[in-house]
Amino acid sequence: MPWGKLAIINLYECYPDYLRDKKKIKKFIRELYKNINMNKVGKTIIKRFGKGPLRGYSAMQFIKTSSITAHFDEENNRAFIDIFSCKKFNEKRAEQFSKDFFKAKKSKIKILDRE
């Protein structure tokens, strides 16, 4: 029986301004954990770093049952979101919410059971 689940969500052709806006990213994290019925622990950490095509924001939010991390590719307008939790959650809902929030034209999701 799995101990937890990791949802790996890739978003493509996102709305560029949202990937470059710290306040939007913070709002996304806040709405995402509420949308999948998780409880946060501590403050959301958001940092922008890197050079050239690797420059962009990364975000992390601890939740009571693990964490949410997100990385944003400003060069190619992509977002990479990972949700790991030992509490069950609706990964398809998380994917659709993320896709809608960032106005992505395409998304992919992979699920890994952690044993």
In this structure, what are the phi and psi dihedrals at residue 64, rounded to the nearest 5 degrees?
-55, -25
Dihedral sign of CA atoms 64, 65, 66, 67 in order: negative
CA angle 29, 93, 48 (to 5 degrees): 25
- The number of domains in the chain is 1
Q: What is the pLDDT of residues 34-57, one digit of tens each?
A: 999 999 999 999 999 998 888 999
What is each CA distance from 108 to 7, 48, 64, 78, 79, in whole angstroms?
Answer: 10, 24, 26, 11, 11
What is the span of the domain harbouring residue 106? 4-114
Share of the chain above pLDDT 90, in %: 91
CATH code for position 9: 3.60.90.10
pTM: 0.94
**DSSP code at position 52:** G
Spell out the per-residue pLDDT of the chain, length 115, in tens.
Answer: 678 999 999 999 999 999 999 999 999 999 999 999 999 999 999 999 998 888 999 999 999 999 999 999 999 999 999 999 999 999 999 999 999 999 999 999 999 998 8
